[in-house]
Amino acid sequence: MVGVRAQPTTRVTLPDEAVIWHDVECAAYEVDLPLWRELADGCAGAVLDLGSGSGRVALDLASRGEELTAIDFDPALVAALAARARERGLTVETHVADVRTVELGGEFALAIAPMQVAQLLGGRSGRRAMLETVRRHLRRGGVLAAALADPLEGLPVETALPPLPDVREAGGWVFSSTPTALRGGSHGVVIDRHRQAVSPEGELFESMASIQLDRVAPAELAEDAAELGYRPLASRSVPSTSDYVGSAVVVLEAT
């Protein structure tokens, strides 16, 4: 992080930085939870949470008695998820792994990819690798549900206005993250975020972060899946809110 002061700036490392920013930008999102609960209730068996982060969805489902396995490529996020599960007396099997290549050896009734995980895989080849990998882990008749969103919601880039900042307090620090720009490209959208952290002593630290989301039409994902051992089921949706765009949820059955 870059400290903003009257004198020259210095570099500092905030505690649990990866976890803090993930929590600031993602943890408050709850509008999709009813859908994941409904899908889990309808699939008797173990659930695989793809790109689980610090446990927003996995911990919710585990608290409802679901058998959960959660994977994420970031060791800090996985460690935070495991610690939170222990603190709450929940059982969640966790793995540091890439959803495109993971080999767990288990069989699942449901795999979920919430909050645009399927759009963070480096293009079509990455998505197809994820589909193939997940298919190996689903039992016949098992279901994969993947959320897809267009941050621009069909609007020109220059007219899309950022929402209010996401804010979170932790350990006396106050963290905020504000989307400042949406930049369209040939393959996707880049979301620029301005991150600020205020220490307990009142020092301000700032940084910029950019997140690349592939543009993926639901029909495109379903078409690729049909070639890899799935058949499409009725799609679902997550409504938009004043702070978050909505999502189309592609639902696929393993054949």
Residue 7's pLDDT is what? 31
Residue 246's contacts (CB-CB under 8 Å, 6 or more residues apart) are 149, 153, 237, 238, 239, 240
Q: What is the predicted pLDDT for the residue at 146?
A: 98
Q: What is the pLDDT of residue 245?
A: 82
Three-state SS at 177: strand
Q: What pLDDT, on the 0 to 100 scale, is given for residue 255?
A: 96
111 phi and psi, to 5 degrees? -120, 135
What pLDDT is recorded for position 164?
Answer: 74
pLDDT at 136: 97
Alpha-helical regions (H) of 93-162: 124-137
User: Under 8 Å CB-to-CB from 186, ≥6 apart: which residues?
Assistant: none
pTM: 0.88
| 143 φ/ψ angles, rounded to the nearest 5 degrees | -125, 140
Encoded tokens for 54: 């610090």
Nearest Cα residue to 35 out of 249, 252, 254 = 249
Q: What is the pLDDT of residue 150?
A: 73
Chunked into runs of 10 residues, the chain (255 residues) has average pLDDT values of 33 68 92 98 96 97 98 96 97 98 94 96 96 98 94 51 77 90 79 92 93 93 98 95 87 98
Token couple for 123: 């293009």
Q: Whole-number mean pLDDT of the chain?
A: 88
Task: Please report the domains of the chain, with CATH numbers, ordered by start residue.
Answer: 2-15+153-213 (2.20.130.10), 31-150+216-254 (3.40.50.150)
First-to-last C-alpha distance (Å) of the chain = 48
